[in-house]
Structure 1
Amino acid sequence: MKIRPSIRIYFLVAMLFAGTVTIGVLTVTAVRYFFSGMDTAMTEFFRSQVSELPLGNNNAPLQMDELTIAAKWEDLPQQIQQNWHADELELGQLHKKIEATAILSPPEFGYFVMKVVRNEEVRFISLVLDDLDANKRLNEEVPPFFYIILTGFAAIIFFAVVLIVVQRKISSPVEKLRDWAKSLDKDQLTQPVPNFHYSELNSLAGIIKSSLSSVQESLEREQRFLGYASHELRTPIAVTRTNSELLRKMITKQVAPEKQIEVVDRIERAVFTMTDLTETLLWLNRQEDKSLPSRTIKVGELIKQIESELHYLLQEKKVDVSVNVDDSEMALPEGLCRIVITNLIRNAFQHTQHGEVSIEQSGSHFSIVNRNVNTSKTQDDLGFGLGLELTQRLIAQYGWQYQTTQANDGWRVEVVFDTAT
């Protein structure tokens, strides 16, 4: 079974290892300095005793309990003579031999010897500790250096506890950030970022939200594009299909070529319309700060053409349509104009059941008024489908003027094509 790597476990193990090694080294160093200090103290004690205590008559050795001071090597205790030779001793250097059954128990014996010069005479001083029986050693207190080792172990345990607490303090907000990121959806992206207690985590949460919001916006733009495209391309596709069937019948019946050319022209216009619509929708979807290509068009002719293509929406309805346009020419993006005009006329035709629709255009001003007869006046008379949503977005993004007002039994929609945009 493969172990999955974890930052939390890696951090915990690494810090525990580093802390244990550091405390261990410091503990060993402290123990070494403890024994070094003991040796220094013993050395100074021996020197002071040799300097202060005189020997007996004829340089007889001085015996005080376990301490012996002598002028001759042979006067020292047998234990000292058995473990060292006089010529092995370095002047002023403490020599010792300690034997213990366990590191934390008192020693079984300890021998200390030192050669010192006093008044240009050599003196030997020794200390023999070998009368400790087992029961006495077991009843004695723990050696002082044991507390140094105990302190080291306590420091390691304390360090581990603090490390675990700190790790949990850090990992808890990280886990909350993970759970929050996993649960992000469209609704939560609109909510403010929670506080994860640490500025780095809050910054990371902001980056996550920003990235997902960007992805969500891109997805929504693609969905809108597909919806707009399917909505706007219905009419030119229907025109292309209908005229293609008509052209096939005309060819079969050998209708005059002039009539066939008229049908081909309608198909060609539908193809150009689909191209303009696609370019306009792509421009809207990209939301780039670029203008659509403009060309000189007669808005009046475009209105008549679109009204004729959408007239099928009035079948089986008692609706009178009046179209009043002029021959003025303007430099405008034709695809954008087609979408706006098509959706406004389609909306008026769809939401007028019995009454009249008035379409007017004069220069850059374009208006549509629909009136229903014997119907209740509701907000639905204007219509708020995908077509009007697209129309309002296009007009707002391109900077044209757009206004809707409620009229008698209907609505009035006005658009001003600002050629300076």
Structure 2
Amino acid sequence: MKIRPSLKLYFFISVLLLGSVMAIGFSFLSVNYFIDGLDRSLNGVMFELAKTADVKDEHPVDIAGINIASRWQDTPEVIQRSFVNPPSVIGDLQKQKVQTTIFTMPKSVYFLVLFESPEGEPRFISRVMLEKDFIASTNAIKPSHRLFWTFVVAILAIVLFAFLLFMIMRKIARPIESLRNWAKSLNPKNVQAPPPDFTYNELNVLASLIQGSLISTHQSLEREQRFLSYASHEIRTPIAVIRSNVELLQRLNEKQPTTEKQHLVLERIQRAGLTMSNLTDTLLWLSRNEELNVAPEPLNLEKAVQQACVDLEYLLKGKSVEVTVKSEEHSVDTIAVACHIVINNLIRNAYQHTQEGQVLIKQQGSRITIINSNSKSDTGQQKSDSNQIAFGEGYGLGLQLSEKIVQHHNWYYEKTNTQEYYQAVVDFEKQGNSVNE
């Protein structure tokens, strides 16, 4: 199972890391500025001592731990060891530290600077600070304890920052979650109701946009459904008139025979009327299926299959197709109209798109299996079949509508399409859809 990233968690971690990095960065920057300030202060003190101290060769002066010498060889030996070469730039404070890590107290720090006296004589000013000097100046707190408490304070600061960030995010996320729950609860019955207040103006604008979009979509669906229902209902009357007049003409032809061409024309009109009637029933059923609560009724599947085969037999005229029908007595409690539509469309598919081959229709219990295979497989024939699917006598749309009916009633449906055959399986008692290609 794929774990989807959480925007809230991503934002929380990002801000927490950013805040921690900024806090640590500013802490190091503050320490550097603080140390730089101490160095500058010490440099100023050394400069003042260089102007006032009376120093002679071989007689350096030590004032408050600061050594002042007129020659490099008169400076303390530890300074000469720490700094290989004497300073050459006047006023440039040099510093050397002996320190294990950046998080521990320095064991010793050495300072050295070169100034000139008012008379222009050189003055080498140095200072040595040892670890005991640092300890004595920090109220006898051990460096290890100081480092421990520094880490404790830092961790507490990060925890406090994370807690405050969590509370802020919780306050901001609560209206967003309310917006999500409100959007999920929208349906055709309550979509027109005014949206609640989500505290923030941006969320209220977003809620209005969501509601407007859903209302527009719902209105479009209602218009399409009404049009589908009205059109299907109104078309049924002229279709019935066409079919009844065709039957009347056929009866008249029995008394006064017509030419073969006129007979073919009547057959084409009759086939088109039957196809339009089935398609109209399908559209009309789909347009009202979700609105009407039709009770299931017993339906004899064997009779339904046999009747569909007889009604659609005209599709096989002029073709070399072998049809095999295997059925058995079985009754199911289902929506009869929907069941008839599905059976007729599946059989029409098999009859219509088999030019020369075999069609097997097998009804066993509540399961119906329809397999049609073409013995012709040349390119031209495939193109012809393709055109029939797109522009045939209602099959393409009829099969799609049948699949929608199957999905609506949650009947089992499976289809397999290969170069050798096409197979469709529908079960009117088994639940669940399994569609394969």
* Unaligned ranges ≥5, structure 1: 256-263, 279-421
Q: 1:248 to 1:205 in 2, by over 3 A?
A: same
Q: Aligned letter for 2:221?
A: L
Q: Check whether the contact 1:108–1:133 (CA below 8 A) recurs between aligned residues.
A: no
Q: Aligned letter for 1:80?
A: I
Q: Check whether the contact 1:100–1:109 (CA below 8 A) recurs between aligned residues.
A: yes
Q: 1:247 to 1:2 in 2, by over 3 A?
A: closer
Task: Indicate the SS of the match to 1:190.
Answer: coil
Q: Aligned letter for 2:115?
A: V
Instruction: Quote the residue 1:122 is aligned against.
Output: 122
Determine which structure has greater relative contact order: mean sequence separation of CA pairs < 8 Å that are 6+ residues apart, divided by chain length. Answer: 1
Q: Aligned letter for 1:194?
A: P
Instruction: Quote the residue 2:97 is aligned against.
Output: 98
Cα distance between partner residues in 2 of 1:149 and 1:42: 29
State yes or no: 1:170 paired with 2:172. yes
Q: Aligned letter for 2:121?
A: E
Q: Aligned letter for 1:39?
A: D
Cα distance between partner residues in 2 of 1:51 and 1:249: 137
Q: 1:70 to 1:145 in 2, by over 3 A?
A: farther
Instruction: Quote the residue 1:71 is aligned against.
Output: 70
Q: 2:187 aligns with which of 169, 174, 185?
A: 185
Alpha-carbon shift at residue 188 of structure 1 (Å): 1.5
Cα distance between partner residues in 2 of 1:31 and 1:141: 19
Q: Check whether the contact 2:135–2:141 (CA below 8 A) recurs between aligned residues.
A: no
Instruction: Quote the residue 2:47 is aligned against.
Output: 47
Q: Deviations over 1:61-105 (max 9, x none)?
A: 223453222223333322112223564443222222222334344
Cα distance between partner residues in 2 of 1:16 and 1:108: 36
Q: 1:252 aligns with which of 248, 251, 254?
A: 254
Task: Indicate the SS of the match to 1:185.
Answer: coil
Q: 1:229 to 1:71 in 2, by over 3 A?
A: closer
Alpha-carbon shift at residue 189 of structure 1 (Å): 0.8
Q: Aligned letter for 1:53?
A: A
Cα distance between partner residues in 2 of 1:29 and 1:149: 17
Alpha-carbon shift at residue 110 of structure 1 (Å): 2.0
Task: Indicate the SS of the match to 2:191.
Answer: helix
> Percent of pairs identical after alignment?
39
Q: How does 1:9-408 map to 2 (within 5 A)?
A: 9-55=9-55, 60-64=59-63, 66-85=65-84, 87-118=86-117, 119-130=119-130, 132=132, 140-141=140-141, 159-254=161-256
Task: Indicate the SS of the match to 2:37.
Answer: helix
Q: For the pair shown, which has the larger CA radius of gyration, 1 or 2?
A: 1
Cα distance between partner residues in 2 of 1:104 and 1:139: 19
Q: Aligned letter for 1:28?
A: F
Instruction: Quote the residue 1:389 is aligned against.
Output: none
Q: CA RMSD in A?
A: 4.3
Cα distance between partner residues in 2 of 1:208 and 1:195: 14
Q: 1:39 to 1:137 in 2, by over 3 A?
A: closer
Q: Check whether the contact 1:196–1:202 (CA below 8 A) recurs between aligned residues.
A: yes
Task: Indicate the SS of the match to 1:98.
Answer: strand
Cα distance between partner residues in 2 of 1:96 and 1:36: 11
Instruction: Quote the residue 1:322 is aligned against.
Output: none
Q: 1:134 to 1:215 in 2, by over 3 A?
A: closer
Cα distance between partner residues in 2 of 1:62 and 1:126: 11
Cα distance between partner residues in 2 of 1:111 and 1:190: 80
Cα distance between partner residues in 2 of 1:225 and 1:254: 43
Alpha-carbon shift at residue 231 of structure 1 (Å): 4.1
Q: Deviations over 1:307-347 (max 9, x none)?
A: xxxxxxxxxxxxxxxxxxxxxxxxxxxxxxxxxxxxxxxxx
Q: Aligned letter for 1:249?
A: R
- Say which is worse superposed, 102-111 or 120-129, in terms of deviation: 102-111
Q: 1:106 to 1:137 in 2, by over 3 A?
A: farther
